[in-house]
Structure 1
Amino acid sequence: MREQLQQIPYARLIGIEPGEEVDCFRLPGRKSNIGNPLLPALHGGLIAGFMEMAATVSVIHHSGARSVPKIVDISVDYLRSGKFADSYARCQLHFLGRRMINVGITAWQDDESKPIATARAQFLVKE
């Protein structure tokens, strides 16, 4: 999945890395990703972007798409504050047809059973 991450400039910018399992991703704690320096806490847009990029790479990997799929819709639910620490995301793909793919994403930090955010995204994959 490292090759797919290299195709996406934003994924490179924020530092997303493939996890140890398929459909798992790691976002290292970086000072540039902090949104509130007083807490410090990750920027909410960064968390959403991390989840979207993780889902995009999963879609590319599983669909065999030659280009980056187009996101049609994403809905993010923020559950906890993202601390200044490594974050992780796991994607679960639900194929809803030949061209539309629905993905569920969960992001966490210390404990996967305590997510910081969840999301649902739909992608359009070109044939």
Structure 2
Amino acid sequence: MSGFAQLLGPMISESGDAFVLAPVEYLIGNPLLPALHGGAVASFLEVAAKRALHRRLSPGQPSQLISVNLQFLATARLDALVTTPKVRRVGRRIAVVHAEAFHRGDPAAVCFAQLEFAVHEPIRVGGNADRRTL
């Protein structure tokens, strides 16, 4: 996990599919409302989507984020944000994941995200460890 992902601290909930972003002071973007920073919300959805994708990939199979489409629909209040990313497609080279951030107990979404990842061949251990097919 990257240092920034550790800073965000998204955690797996009891169900194992949902991720939670706890509101902390250093993630506040607008102290007057107060509201979480949009970049923190976007990063939270990215980290959660990548974790959901890696549950579906083969062990050692790397992926790389290539595209993100975000739609912010409401202010991210200083309450915990929850997302349950859905892996929509895993092809030979591209994977698509959708994620929606919302506050617990509030069905209205704060942000929708569609993320595309380049999916690479699993890294082989042994004589051809340096060779990967893109």
TM over 0.5: yes
What 5-or-longer segments of structure 1 have no aligned partner? Answer: 1-6
Query: More helix by proportion, 1 or 2?
Result: 1
Which residue of 2 is the match for residue 3 of structure 1?
none
Over residues 32-59 of structure 1, what are the superposed CA-to-partner deviations in whole Å (9 max), with x where a residue is unaligned? 1100111110001111111011101111
- What is the correspondence of 1:46-65 to structure 2 with a 5 Å cutoff? 46-65=40-59
Higher alpha-carbon deviation: 16-25 or 35-44 = 16-25
Q: State the TM-score, normalized to the length of structure 2.
A: 0.83
Q: 1:10 Cα shift?
A: 1.8
What 5-or-longer segments of structure 2 have no aligned partner? Answer: 122-134
- Aligned identity (percent) is 28
Q: Distance in 1 between matches of 2:12 and 2:94?
A: 24
Name the amino acid aligned to 2:91: G
- Of the candidates 24, 38, 43, which is equivalent to residue 30 of structure 1? 24
Name the amino acid aligned to 2:108: K
- 8 Å contact 1:85–1:109 — kept in the other structure? yes
Higher CA-based Rg? 2
Q: Tell me how large the CA RMSD over aligned residues is.
A: 1.5
Label 1:48 to 1:68 Cα distance change in 2 as closer, same or farther (>3 A). farther
Q: 1:96 Cα shift?
A: 4.3
Which residue of 1 is the match for residue 67 of structure 2?
73
Which residue of 2 is the match for residue 114 of structure 1?
108
SS at structure 1 position matched to 2:109? coil
Q: 1:65 Cα shift?
A: 4.8
Q: Distance in 1 between matches of 2:60 and 2:90?
A: 19
Q: Distance in 2 between matches of 1:10 and 1:112?
A: 27
Over residues 76-103 of structure 1, what are the superposed CA-to-partner deviations in whole Å (9 max), with x where a residue is unaligned? 0001100011111111112241221101
Which residue of 2 is the match for residue 90 of structure 1?
84
SS at structure 2 position matched to 1:102? strand
Task: Count residues with an aligned counterpart.
Answer: 121
Q: 1:8 Cα shift?
A: 2.6
